[in-house]
Each structure stands twice: as C-alpha cells, then as structure tokens.
Amino acid sequence: MKITDIKFAMLRVPLKTPFKTALRTVESIEDIVIMVHTDTGHVGYGEAPATAVITGDTHGSMVEAIDRIMKPKLIGQEVSDLNHIIGLIQNGIIRNYSAKAAVEMAVYDLWGQLYNAPLYKMLGGGVPTISTDITISVDYIDKMVADSLEAIDRGFETLKIKVGKDIGVDIERVKAIYAAVEGKALLRLDANQGWTPKEAVYALHKLEGAGVRLELVEQPVKARDIDGMKYITERVHTPVMADESSFGPREVIELIKMRAADIINIKLMKTGGISNAIKIADICSVYDMQCMIGCMLESSISVSAAVHLAVAKSNVITKIDLDGPSLCAYDPVKGSVSFKDAEISINDSPGLGIESIEGLEEFIPRS
C-alpha cells in the first residue's frame, strides 16, 4: 500500500451553543480535513482545527505546510514503513503541530486498514468503551448551573467548568455549580491561562475552604509560566493539570522534573500527532503520573483517533475530555466510533473506521 496523493477539504459544523472560554468564543467547528490516498484505493482521514491562539496554526498555514512540505516527501512511501513516514512528517518542518497531527492520524488510519485491524488494537488493545466529561462554557452563573444540570440529565458524570474571566465571579460560579450538582457529578476547572499564580492559589483556597471538592484545575496560568504552575501545585490540595504548558515530550519531562503539575493533558493537536502522544503517555507511566486526553474544537474524525489512543493507553490515560462531537449540533461522520453523550465506543472496523463524511467542501491549495 503506497501513498499516491493528499487532498484537502473543509468541514463546517455548527455547535449546539457557543463555546466560551477565557481566550475566545466560537460558534461552529471549521476544520481542515485531509484525505491520504493510496494505490490500493484505501483512504486515510485526518482533521485539524485552526487554533491560532493556542497552537499558532491557521487553515492557510496548515494546508501550506502539508501541501508544500509534507506531501512531496510522502508520495510513494509504503504505509507499512510507519516509523519512517512518521520521521518524514515530524522532521520535515518545525512546529506546525496541528498540520502534523492531521497527516499522522491519516497515516495511522491507513496502517490499521493495511493490517485489517482497528487502530486501538494496533496500538496495544484495551476495552473499547470509555466515558467523557462535557464542557460547561463561561456564562452567567444561572446559565452555567442550568447547563450543568442539563448535562447530568444527559448522563454526564464529570463536568469541566470554564473559568478565568473574573476571579471573584469565578469563585461564585463554581460554588453555585457545586451546590447544584454535589453527589451527582465530579467537577473539573479549566482556567485557560486566565489567572495569575496568586489569583489561582487564592481562588482554590477559597473553594477548598468552602468545602468544594474539585477533581482538578487545568492550566490556571500562562502556558510559559512553569514557575507559576509550580507555585500553585505546591500550595493547593486540588491536583493541577498542565495543558498549554505541555505540548511535547520535552515540556512534559520539564514539568515532571520541576514538580510543576500533577496531571498532563495530552491533545493530538498540541503534540503533533499520535506518535508524540504515545511518547508522553509512556513518559508519564514511568513517573506514575496520570494523563488526561483532550481535544480542541474538533469533529469525530480527529476525536476518533484520540479515542483509539485513549483505549490503548488506558493504563496511564485515566481521564477523558473528548466532548467535541457532543458539542456539535450533529455528527457528520459515519464510522466505527460511536459518540452517545458521555459514552464512547469503538467497533472492530479497520483503522479509524471512517466510512463517510457529510458536508465536506473541496479545498484546493494555492498553486
């Protein structure tokens, strides 16, 4: 099975409600989809969002990086020579993490198809059913409480609460939600880099003192403020999780050595794909550190790849934040990964198991 071409498309899917964080507000998914074609007729699928505020990637930059740099190197390569292909993707251009992730997942999809096995089995196997949390966007307190209760009614047992806009209001938001859902769901906080180290310690002490029990707090300070992460981790009982501070294996090793986080959030769009995500999971396993697997605003194309990885690495990926498809007004993908609110399951179709994608718009790179 040789790679013969890489084609592009745009996928647009409206969200059920606007997605609001300390960094941005988004009303729809608008992602680049890539299709890696082969001489056997098999097609591998990948996807990446433009999340410039986090990864630096835009639609244009991703297409340029793939079409001009990666594609010429990959044409004619044997899918069975996976490690060589991964090296070509990772070493041909620096950064461009989301572009690399999209290409990698398409190649891994083909690799599973080549050997007629679902990707999670190729990566080590596991029980093909997991449960995800769901995100509660920043909003008025009453709206966030109502959204939380609605999520519980849909079967979600873990809620990720977006904060980071205003420290005083954030504290009241969390108290109100905790009072409404106590005993019904676990709470995770995600400040999206919105607090200072002292604000984070202040807020968490206030919440802990009020009896609010949190499963974790995610990325409370700016991504590069590793000293700030350490400052918080040393001063609060709530476990601190690194997200934007931990893109690749090197950052994870630094965080572990500095004891600047208790948990690492793996996202394929940050790591540059499945290969580095596996490395991070293995590093964390050595140091007995738990991982979460998360996603950006992505459809079930790329989230399916994350699901396969989560199942295969369930020994260390113990927390799941793959709610992208649940936030969409509809799922445009027909495939082997089933997203039913909190429950996600995989059947045994080869690779990622994607059969068809509704509403793809052809995207032709600039000549």
What is the Cα–Cα distance from 272 to 12, expressed in whole angstroms? 22
321 is in an annotated binding site: yes
The pair of structure tokens assigned to 365 is 């790179």
139 is in an annotated binding site: no
Which DSSP letter does residue 5 get?
E
218 is in an annotated binding site: yes
Find where tokens 């290409």 sit: 103
Residue 99 sits at the vertex; the CA angle it makes with 98 and 105, to the nearest 5 degrees, is 85
- Tell me if residue 279 is catalytic: no
- Tell me if residue 175 is catalytic: no
With CA atoms as reference, report the closest residue to 27 among 37, 10, 39, 13: 13
24 is in an annotated binding site: yes
Choosing from 20, 100, 267, 270, the catalytic residue is: 267
Residues 6+ apart with CB under 8 A from 34: 6, 7, 8, 9, 45, 46, 47, 48, 66, 102, 103, 106
135 is in an annotated binding site: yes
Choosing from 20, 162, 313, 319, the catalytic residue is: 162
Residue 218: count other Cβ atoms within 10 Å of its Cβ.
27
Residue 154 sits at the vertex; the CA angle it makes with 309 and 29, to the nearest 5 degrees, is 55
Contact (Cβ atoms closer than 8 angstroms) between residue 362 and residue 5: no
160 is in an annotated binding site: yes
323 is in an annotated binding site: yes
295 is in an annotated binding site: yes
Write out the binding residues for substrate. 24, 135, 160, 295, 297, 321, 323
Write out the binding residues for Mg(2+). 190, 218, 243
Write out the binding residues. 24, 135, 160, 190, 218, 243, 295, 297, 321, 323
Which residues are annotated as catalytic? 162, 267
